[in-house]
Amino acid sequence: MIQPAASLLPRLVALRRIAVLAQAAVLLLAVGWLQMPLPLAPMIGTTVALALFNLFTQWRLQQARPVGDDELLAQLLVDVGALGILLYHAGGSSNPFVSLFLVPLTVAATALPARHAWLMAGAATLVYTFLMFWNLPLPAPHGLMAELDARLARASGIAPEHAGHASGFALHVLGMWLNFVVSAGVVAFFLTRMAAALRRREQELAAAREAALKNEQILALGTLAAGAAHQLGTPLSTMAVVLREAELAHAGDAELAEDLRLLRAQVDECKKILSQTLASAGQARDDASRQMALDAYLERLLEGWQLIRPRAAIAAVLDGPRPAPRIATDRTLEQALLNLLDNAADASPDGLELRARWDGGEVVVDVLDRGPGIDAAVAARIGEPFFSTKTGAAADASGGLGIGFFLTNATLERFGGRVELTPRDGGGTRTRVTLPLARLQQAPT
């Protein structure tokens, strides 16, 4: 995978800043300590020009214009040209620092398309070849450096009569050592950061692929739900008519009439839910534009849920500064919280509690039940599509298909929230929903 040029140019600026400081230090060492008569004017001028160009590049990064591969290649060619000028005045291809041409080539090979990398290879080779034939030779060493040069020549096996042809050997060896240290540091610094950036990009792509897969699953479930809602309309209408006739026929039996009224109320509630489901796509934006206080929103949610689950008793505790913050009344968030309440009631209709607390930053809602609890292995799989903890009669009674928690988790993630299942003290399960308040105060994206 090719790293985008926009993220590499800032690192190139940092790398060039180090190169300018290193060039200045080498010039100071060569002239001040080694007393080498180098042509300082063009070499200092080249270093200063490179530093000014780096300042210009840093200013350019603050502009809104995107950085392309061609621009990054041009930046690297400037570095090659500056290095070529410096080496021309300091021995050409015999200078131990000539292998620094590999640094911009390495950057180009790892960051740019193959065509750009080959252009950089050709440019570096062309400059290197030029320096082999046209250059200003390095002056011979003096003083202590000349003595060290002679000792290294003898240690390497160079005959005394050939020592004159090998003058500058010590300088060359020390230069090669320093060049290796600098090159190793630069390559390690640059490539390790590049590898880290590539790893982050791979993680982002993996997360994007996972999100796309989840969205496909949600879309498939939504399509099936819309079809099921449309098909259930007819049998529910038939049930409502039959129940109404049964109420009239058994009006004298008070106990049976009460059960029939309850059944008809449940059927009417199902028809209402189906109607809202079919209309939710067009109404979601309007619903999200309405604002309601958080405590009133939760109280309305519980009242509506009690109509659906009249036999489940729940104790509610709402804790937070008053007046409570206002949030967008999004239908999908309401359905997600209702799913969690249904799961708790299916586990145990007695001993249910809802505890909500909020502050200036987040909202935490705990739904607690006294059911059989949940172990770590099951908690790790909760949220997978079509995975349900309900089996046998419990699954038949509640209609557990393993999609409720999956959809709930996906909805909460849209709001930047998360849901956690942990054992409750004294038995049962604690379902904790944590949501950032800032995201609740606007429509989800």
Tell me the per-residue pLDDT of 348-391, one tens digit each, with 9 for 90 and over.
888 899 999 998 889 999 999 988 877 766 666 665 655 555 54
> What is the rounded average pLDDT for all residues in the chain?
77
User: Helix/strand/coil (H, E, C) string of the chain?
Assistant: CCCCHHHHHHHHHHHHHHHHHHHHHHHHHHHHHCCCCCCHHHHHHHHHHHHHHHHHHHHHHCCCCCCCHHHHHHHHHHHHHHHHHHHHCCCHHHCHHHHHHHHHHHHHHHHCCHHHHHHHHHHHHHHHHHHHHCCCCCCCCCHHHHHHHHHHHHHCCCCHHHHHHHCCHHHHHHHHHHHHHHHHHHHHHHHHHHHHHHHHHHHHHHHHHHHHHHHHHHHHHHHHHHHHHHHHHHHHHHHHHHHHHHHHHCCCCHHHHHHHHHHHHHHHHHHHHHHHHHHHHHHHHHHHHCEEEHHHHHHHHHHHHHHHCCCCCEEEEEECCCCCCEEECCHHHHHHHHHHHHHHHHHCCCCEEEEEEECCCEEEEEEECCCCCCCHHHHHHCCCCCCCCCCHHHHHHHCCCCCHHHHHHHHHHHCCCEEEEEECCCCCEEEEEEEEHHHHCCCCC
pLDDT for the residue numbered 91: 84
Give the highest mean pLDDT range of 3-7, 77-81, 237-241: 77-81
Topology of 290-445 in CATH? Heat Shock Protein 90 (3.30.565)
User: Mean pLDDT lowest for which of 12-21, 25-34, 228-237, 315-324?
Assistant: 228-237
Assess whether pLDDT exceeds 70 at residue 45: yes
User: Mean pLDDT lowest for which of 115-124, 234-243, 388-397?
Assistant: 388-397
Assess whether pLDDT exceeds 60 at residue 441: yes
pLDDT for the residue numbered 360: 80
Domain ranges in the chain?
A: 5-209, 290-445
